[in-house]
Amino acid sequence: MKITQQHIADLNKVQDATYQAELGLLEAKLGRKGINLQDVINKVAQFQVAIPSWALGAGGTRFGRFSYGGEPSTLEQKLDDIGLIHALTKSAGAVSLHIPWDIPQDYKAIKELAQSHDILFDAVNSNTFQDQAGAKNSYKFGSLCSSVDASREQAVQHNLEVIKIGDQLGSKSLTVWLADGSNFPGQRNFQTGLIHTEDSLKKIYAGMPDDWKLFIEYKPYEPNFYSTVIQDWGTSFMLANACGERAYTLVDLGHHLPNTNIEQIVATLMYKGKLGGFHFNDSKYGDDDLTVGSIKPYALFLIFNELVYGMQNNPQNPYPAWMIDASHNIKDPLEDLIQSLEAIRIAYATALLVDQDALKAAQLDNDVALCQELLQDAYRTDVRAILKAARIQSGAVADPIAAYRSLAVRSALINERGTASKATGL
């Protein structure tokens, strides 16, 4: 299944009669705030989010997994699926690979395939949260933090191997997420675990090419339920500082305890120039991995408000690497990813509409009510016509979900790959 220029042209022939009127209204409204509509459309069109290779099949819980037909079972098919999403949305122009599941057999062919879909290789991810077949040492009691020298060394070597693979594909960063921690009080010496982790990360950092970045992810609990070694942004920030200039903290929206003020974490990290990467998802209770924006869209807007502020005011912070990190337990994974991409761009677009000068003045005046008015005026603006304009201008379809359904993409994938094909990496 490949979506052609002709498909897109045919789909975009049917124009929504209200779309131009909506754009005209937005142009007038934004003009009053001194915001140029076309500038916003261009920024939204440029905003690209990486798709992780593990997100293209049905996810699951420890109670079961209900597979979707036509899932990609090879790296080539995973790239093809991202190619489909990117053709429809022009907002998913990158892939984030997970090793050992996605080791290419033929690097040249994989690079050419990605190029044919207009997809770049973003951060590569290592996996030391489970034992691989034939592995000499176990990660049952930790990987980079392990008190067993051989397990720790094996985990460091794995990360160095992942860097080598990513380097051959054109990736420029490594994301490390650790499941390391403990399930019961007294099980692990906190300080020893932290010291081992810092030493291991320093070895990995030293093994990166000079133009690479290291992203250190944190998570308060799960799969360990008493403690995790890198439990919060402060620990990640401390480890990143210990490693060096090109080590950064990575924020995953689902990796916080309920009600954590994530937008403030974003602001602090960007001020310090240490926000390297960002993983999008949404949650009600914990690390639920739900569709972005499906539960707490206002929180997402507030986070984007800080991201936009940081991108405009913190040259010390590099442009962050964006990725969706969600699980699709009951929806078609490709439809779910399209919905997440839409939600991310909506939050970005609305954050671009915040009248920053007026907000700054209201903050200096301590006009609390006006500050809220200014934020909510942006948040309550319906920006979907802006997203549509960004897509049409980029050669994507006006309405990706409707297009996905009218092209019967899932049926075509099931016809090609069968109902039993399962994605690896879940």
Segment interacting with Mn ion (CB under 5 A) among 201-209, 265-273, 322-330, 389-397: 322-330
274 near Mn ion (CB under 5 A): no
The smaller minimum CB distance to Mn ion, of residues 326 and 351, is found at: 326
User: How many residues sit close enough to Mn ion to count as binding (CB under 5 A)?
Assistant: 3
- The pair of structure tokens assigned to 425 is 């990496």
Closest approach of Mn ion to the CB of residue 120, in Å: 19
Task: Give the footprint of Mn ion on residues 208-227 (CB under 5 A).
Answer: none
CB of 22 to Mn ion, least distance (A): 35
- Residues 11-50 touching Mn ion, rule: CB under 5 A, are none
- Closest to Mn ion by CB, 79 vs 253, is 253
Q: Which residues contact 45 (CB under 8 A, 6 or more apart)?
A: 90, 390, 391, 393, 394
Q: Which is nearer to Mn ion, 102 or 325 (CB)?
A: 325
26-30 long-range contacts (CB < 8 A, ≥24 apart) are 26/381, 26/383, 26/385, 26/386, 29/381, 30/353
Considering beta carbons, is residue 213 or 391 the nearer one to Mn ion? 213
Cα–Cα distance for residue pair 272/237, rounded to 1 Å: 10
Stretch that binds Mn ion, among 18-26, 146-154, 320-328, 357-365 (CB under 5 A): 320-328
Rounded least distance, CB 302 to Mn ion, Å = 20
Closest approach, Cβ 161 to Mn ion, in A, equals 21
Is residue 252 within the footprint of Mn ion (CB under 5 A)?
Answer: yes
Cβ closer to Mn ion: 262 or 390? Answer: 262
Closest distance of CB 275 from Mn ion, Å: 14
CB of 100 to Mn ion, least distance (A): 18
To the nearest whole angstrom, how small is the minimum distance from the Cβ of residue 274 to Mn ion?
17
Site stretch for Mn ion (CB under 5 A), options 221-229, 245-253, 257-265, 404-412? 245-253
H and E: helices and strands count for the chain: 16, 11
Q: Coil, strand, or helix at residue 34?
A: coil
CB nearer to Mn ion: pick between 252 and 399: 252
Strand, coil or helix: 362: helix
Q: Report how far residue 179's alpha carbon sits from residue 382's, in angstroms, rounded to the nearest whole number.
A: 40
Smallest distance from the beta carbon of 199 to Mn ion, in angstroms?
23
Say how far apart CA 2 and CA 303 lie, in whole Å: 35
Segment near Mn ion (CB under 5 A); pick from 53-61, 126-134, 225-233, 325-333: 325-333
* Nearest partner of 413 among 58, 13, 12, judged by Cα: 58
Q: Which two tokens stand for residue 397?
A: 């379809």
Q: Is 277 left (phi over 0), alpha (psi -120 to 50) or beta?
A: beta
Residues with Cβ within 8 Å of residue 147, at least 6 apart in sequence: 141, 188, 192, 193, 196
In 46-88, at which residue ranges do the beta strands (DSSP E only) sit? 50-52
| 165 and 178 Cβ atoms separated by less than 8 Å | no
Residues 200, 155: contact at Cβ < 8 Å?
yes
Which runs of consecutive H residues, i.e. helices, occur in 147-224? 149-169, 190-206
Interaction pattern, residues 351-370, with Mn ion; x per rule: CB under 5 A: --------------------
Decide whether 217 or 332 has the Cβ nearer to Mn ion. 217
Q: Which stretch binds Mn ion (CB under 5 A): 69-77, 93-101, 251-259, 404-412?
A: 251-259
CA distance 281 to 328: 11
Q: Take residue 231 and report the two structure tokens written for it.
A: 């439990």
CB of 217 to Mn ion, least distance (A): 6
Which residue of 81, 325, 355, 399 would you call a contact of Mn ion, by CB under 5 A? Answer: 325
Of residues 78, 117, 279, 391, which one binds Mn ion by CB under 5 A? 279
Nearer CB in complex with Mn ion: 282/325: 325
90 binds Mn ion, rule: CB under 5 A: no
Question: Please, what is the minimum distance in Å from the beta carbon of residue 289 to Mn ion?
Answer: 9
Residue count of the chain? 426
Q: Which residues from 163-192 bind Mn ion, rule CB under 5 A?
A: none
**Beta partners for 247?**
214
The 59-88 contact track toward Mn ion, x by CB under 5 A, reads ------------------------------
CB of 323 to Mn ion, least distance (A): 7
At residue 292, φ and ψ (nearest 5 deg) are -55, 135
Angle between helices 333-352 and 384-394 (to 10 degrees): 110
Contact residues for Mn ion, defined by CB under 5 A: 252, 279, 325
